[in-house]
Amino acid sequence: MAAHLPPIISQTVQYALQALIYLSAHQERPFVLGSEISEALGIPANYLSKIMHTLGRDGLVEARRGRMGGYRLQRDADQITVMDVFALFDDRNALEQCFLGRPECSDRDPCAAHAAWGPIREAMWAFMVTSTVDGLASSAGDLTH
């Protein structure tokens, strides 16, 4: 059995990306109910509501109340990067921190993991700034659990 490592991004970012991918996959509909997203993705409704509020405040989603309400993307899915979402909820500087937790780690004063971790960190950074919600949605399999 493989060891379970902590995620590189927080559960909040994971849920936010899942919700955005779900909205992207359902763009043909004017709005998608929060309860539908919550149920389909297994995200607690109150947690999803807070996430969607933050995404709305940043202009990524639009929320509408009422009988015909729900959520929809406010920006094109190909214009929302993983980094856009990550930066709303997690500290971008966390990606630059030393893998072993040293306060000072650089090419001049490297930790034991510095040389091996550097290319991985760079690849992860590149993935986050170039990958879009649209790209993730187009390659997504089943969006539910």
| Residue corresponding to tokens 């969607």 | 52
In the predicted model, what is the mean pLDDT of the chain? 89
pLDDT in tens, 76-113: 999 999 999 999 999 888 778 888 888 888 889 999 99
Do residues 115 and 98 touch, judged by C-beta distance below 8 A? no
Residue 3: per-residue pLDDT: 55
Q: In sequence order, which ranges of the chain are alpha helices (DSSP H)? A: 11-25, 34-41, 45-57, 82-89, 114-130, 133-138
| Interatomic CA distance for residues 116 and 108, integer angstroms | 15
The pLDDT assigned to 11 comes to 93
CB proximity list for 54: less than 8 A, separation 6 or greater: 16, 88, 89
Place of tokens 């297994």: 42
Reduced to 3 states, what is the DSSP secondary structure of residue 78?
Answer: helix
pTM: 0.86
CATH of 11-138, one of 3.30.70.1450, 3.40.710.10, 1.10.10.10, 2.40.50.100: 1.10.10.10
Judge whether residue 4 has pLDDT over 80: no
CA neighbor of 100 nearest in space, from 83, 89, 116 = 116
pLDDT above 90 (res 1): no
**pLDDT tens profile 29-51:** 999 999 999 999 999 999 999 99
